[in-house]
Amino acid sequence: MGDQQQLILATGGYDHTIKVWQAHTGNCIKTMRFVETSQVNALDRTPDKTRLAACGYQCIRLYDLESNCTAPVINFDGVQKNVTRLGFQENGNWMFTAGEDHHVRIWDMIAAPPHCSRVFDCEAPVNAACLHPNQVEIAMGSQNGSVFLWDVKSERHERIVPEVDASIQDVAISPDGRYLAAANNKGNCYIWSLTSQDQKMSTLRPTKKILAHTRYILRCKFSPDSRLLLTTSGDGTVGIWKTDDFSKWRELSIENYWVWDAAFSADSKWLFTASSDGIARLWKLQTKSSIRDYTGHTKAITALSFKDEIVGK
């Protein structure tokens, strides 16, 4: 199971706390205070696994996972409105954030303190952003229904509107770089094929529209092996789709609750979910069974982060 000490699950939500769990035992190792005025919108660990970034209403915080300190080590200043997503470039040199101030920002993490070095204006509140495995393109989804692909190096961008009068809630790019997914508040998930040649920007070809859920989709993510796509929804289910034809392979259900976030294990056989009942769960996908609960949050869990080498046997 790799180094079990490293198998850390982080969760955050409406109770203004971030909890760090031993993934293989369900034990809560550490609880960190977030901001009293905000839920946690997104969490991501730095590539070296030593720090955890969290974002919420008008705030971005960076916590040290290796010390006993539960206060943030860095507060990012001057961010307006809700910060909805964040993530790190693969060697940790920069971080991206997306927010309802219409902007996706690149933060230079080598500088002390970190500072915003680049900004993209989506001209509408941004709900989601993710980094292409090529480490130079960022996909973004906005509340006015636009999906953007921004080349951070060349500053070129593409914009697509897959469905009018629908808000894009999440975007994802498969680790093999073949597909871009965008999920909206109508329960639909759109897939594009990505192709790139000779250092040029990726081109997008519409590939599939999945009628995934009857309600809001909250998150979409590809598995590490790029064979599966998950969608989480306000209808209390997680849909698991096979990327060879985007047919439904599995459905996990947490009845009467919203499934806010989810993350695959490195071997793509296990899944963590965060839901509005305040419980994070570990699922075995093959059997669709929930095998471990992570209990301790007093309100809805709205974000989780998990990065590992291999979970389970």
Quote the pLDDT of residue 47. Answer: 93
Angle (CA) 25-29-31 rounded to 5° is: 135
pLDDT of residue 124 exceeding 60: yes
| pLDDT 10s digits, 237-286 | 999 999 999 999 999 999 999 999 999 999 999 999 999 999 999 999 99
Quote the pLDDT of residue 200. Answer: 84
Of 5 and 12, the one with more pLDDT: 12
Spacing of C-alpha 81 from chain mean position: 19
Distance CA(207)–CA(204), nearest Å, equals 9
Q: What is the DSSP string of 188-255?
A: EEEEEEEE--TTPPPEEEEEEEEE--SS-EEEEEE-TTSSEEEEEETTSEEEEEETTTTEEEEEEE-T
| pLDDT 10s digits, 48-97 | 999 999 999 999 999 999 999 999 999 997 889 999 999 999 999 999 99
Quote the pLDDT of residue 6. Answer: 65
Quote the pLDDT of residue 313. Answer: 37
Distance CA(186)–CA(216), nearest Å, equals 6
| pLDDT 10s digits, 17-39 | 999 999 999 999 999 999 988 99
Q: Which domains does the chain have, with CATH numbers?
A: 122-253 (2.130.10.10)
The pTM of the full predicted model, rounded to 2 decimals, is 0.95
| pLDDT 10s digits, 183-227 | 999 999 999 999 987 778 999 999 999 999 999 999 999 999 999
Q: Which percentage of the chain shows pLDDT scores above 70?
A: 96
Please state, rounded to an integer, the average pLDDT across all residues of the chain.
94
State the pLDDT confidence band at 1, using cuts at 50, 70 and 90: very low
State the pLDDT confidence band at 4, using cuts at 50, 70 and 90: low
